[in-house]
Amino acid sequence: GIGRNTVYERRKVDPAFARGWEKAAEIAVEALRDAAIVRAREGTERELWRRGKRVGTIREYDNRLLQFLLRALQPEVYGRRGSS
């Protein structure tokens, strides 16, 4: 029930609030990372439709997501060639 500007201002002047903000951001990033790993590993299910009727599903895998995660999580192994 408070405005965006209010929380940004409070973060600037209240160290405890700023630490809580950072911890909440870390938790959110961890949850997103975990969801991306699950999606890369298990794929996503897409419905198949023919003539207006659902006839099944197919599991699709996002290879770009997989490559991104491997490079991000183990850059020493999966980093781009030629980069240091």
Confidence grade of residue 82 (pLDDT, cut at 50, 70, 90): low
Please give the backbone phi and psi of residue 27, each rounded to the nearest 5 degrees, phi first. Answer: -65, -40
43: left (phi over 0), alpha (psi -120 to 50) or beta: left
pLDDT class of 84 with cuts at 50, 70, 90: low
Predicted confidence band at 21 (pLDDT cuts at 50, 70, 90)? very high
Say if CB 60 and CB 43 are below 8 A apart: yes
CA 52: distance to chain centroid? 33
Give dist(CA 6, CA 29) in Å, integer.
Answer: 23
